Amino acid sequence: MAAAAACRAAAGGRRPAVRGLLALLEREMLCSRRCLVTSRQLYSVVHDPNERTFEKLLIANRGEIACRVIKTCKKMGIKTVAIHSDVDSNAALEGVTFIGPDTHAIQAMGDKIESKLLAKNAKVNTIPGFDGVVKDADEAVRIAREIGYPVMIKASAGGGGKGMRIAWDDEETREGFRFSSQEAASSFGDDRLLIEKFIDNPRHIEIQVLADKHGNALWLNERECSIQRRNQKVVEEAPSTFLDPETRRAMGEQAVALAKAVKYSSAGTVEFLVDSSKNFYFLEMNTRLQVEHPVTECITGLDLVQEMIRVAKGYPLRHKQADIPINGWAVECRVYAEDPYKSFGLPSIGKLSQYQEPLHLPSVRVDSGIQQGSDISIYYDPMISKLITYGSNRAEALKRMEEALDNYVIRGVTHNISLLREVIIHPRFVRGDISTKFLPEVYPDGFKGHKLTDLERRELLATAASLYVAEQLRSQRFLGTPRIPIAKSQRSSWELSVHLGDGVYPVAVSKDGSSFSVEVDGMKLNVTGEWNLASPLLSVTIDGTQRTIQRLSRNASGNTSIQFLGTVYKLQILTKVAAELSKYMPEKAAEDTSNILRSPMPGTVVAVSVKPGDTVAEGQEICVIEAMKMQNSMTAAKTGKVKAVHCKAGDTVGEGDLLVELE
């Protein structure tokens, strides 16, 4: 608890947000022992107690990265301080060693324009484009025409997909310039932009590098990061299914050459775009510990945080290039508080009312910076955690990921587990046929969730019906004794009507000892389980097939929500008599949304482009909403006249809030 005490001393009893961070860090230190037991096989720290490094580290990160650094520091016997008070702010200027590369390398690689010029000089393959700063939208159009469409407009100081737009014509270039410069200014305090040729349908593959202060540098193999939405990574893995040893070596050697060119000393990542012919082009270098670093730790056995600490202290690297292995396969899924049914993931906010990580499963690692009760707000990235699984081969790692996603309990916010699960089981992903356009190509009409096969539909109906009956039986008992001692023997069969999607299905259930025999579509299924209805996870076996499900909600009207194969399905379960009577109940009329615009996400209104009385055309921008530093243009669904505007620049809006009405 030394680190927590240090945090308290540094905080000096200040802001509530500080106290919340202290509580989180204290929780993290208490649970880190449990987490590390599960994760030990995924990476290791071989610490020599005679090798002195640092007594105390000031961690200038937040969330899961801060917690990740604390874990390694604890194993190395280093005290940690996550924050400091205002009066101590100048103490960073004396007697402090920065864990990471020097200022020159950070500045050079943090500026995409300068980094591209340095990469060219280091004989690194680069993307054709304009290497200067684009002054305005007119110049952007001129440059784009010279390069040839399509082009990529991106922030010089950018990263994380922010400040990036693809333009296919002059109009999109002007719009992209506006949005990219605004996002860049908001996210990085620097609105400079550059324009490059857009490499269509590429893979995004990056090389992890590690360098010391003695001129030694290594490449620690690659990470495949092609599954993206809005230029932000969603699923990563190591190694890549696409690279052969020769291409891997060539990319690694160019990455090391760039690191040496800027006298880089620490862990860093050189990102490349790779086309279908395995030609690769420098994209950028990230001078920090990447979100996806755990998959590299899994296949190499190295603790990158420990290596960064050793390098900062001045020690030479302990390994040679020939020592760096590829052992097994690792997959990482970024679990976000997002609605994947909206543009593959628009932010969701709220409080984590229930949260349980799947650390009881083998070869599973979870890097997170939250806990049950944490708030997900609009002010930070909506990532809940990084879920990592490891296997001796890719198939094993993917199977473990599938199980981990099914066993992950997240309540209180909308999350993207359904999308993650669908990606990793999709035939194209399984065979390694991926690119940065995977999501829009596989789901051209947007993500709709898992599409049930006939067998899976029967399994879901049988499971839901069995749950209903198990609950009916439980409600008849109190402390294991019938409520009415003189009652006759318990009922043993039920005739139900289950509404799922657009269908209504008759289901017959009979109890057979501890299991249920369920008839659906004229077929009988045997359903067994422990039926612990208070548990967030329910393990059921349907005709020998084990499934882990979650019942998220239910009410007295028979409505229930069940997470099955990653996707949440809404069902209504009624007795046969109740179903017959329900047809006489009036249905609530659906809202006419053709003349209104509602916010699809929580965020802040950046600009409003219309006023009452204006005539707008279909597709015309009405307003811009910023969420998690990303700007989203809200457009008119049809041509019409503006009747009322219910928002103004600077307003905070919630999901579903009314923005504009048309006549």
What is the set of active-site residues?
284
Helix (H, G, I), strand (E, B) or coil at 367: strand
Question: Cα separation of 48 and 565, whole Å?
Answer: 45
Closest to 309 (Cα-Cα) out of 266, 260, 259: 266
Question: Cα separation of 624 and 178, whole Å?
Answer: 12
- SS3 labels along 490-546: CCCEEEEEEEECCEEEEEEEEEECCEEEEEECCEEEEEEECCCCCCCCEEEEECCEE
Question: Cα separation of 559 and 536, whole Å?
Answer: 18
Tokens at 207, concatenated:
């090389």
Q: Name the packing angle between helices 63-75 and 16-39 (round to 10°).
A: 60
- Residue 597 bridge partners (DSSP): 660
Question: Cα separation of 334 and 385, whole Å?
Answer: 6
Helix (H, G, I), strand (E, B) or coil at 10: helix
Are the C-beta atoms of residues 181 and 193 closer than 8 Å to each other?
yes
Are the C-beta atoms of residues 371 and 27 closer than 8 Å to each other?
yes
Cis check: omega of the bond before 150, within 30 degrees of 0: yes
Question: Cα separation of 247 and 303, whole Å?
Answer: 25
Are the C-beta atoms of residues 200 and 151 closer than 8 Å to each other?
no
Question: Cα separation of 409 and 415, whole Å?
Answer: 10
Question: Cα separation of 99 and 265, whole Å?
Answer: 10
- Measured CA to CA in angstroms, residue 441 lies from 172, 273, 317, 421, 566 at distances of 21, 18, 43, 17, 21
Query: Residue 644 belongs to what H/E stretch?
Result: strand 640-645
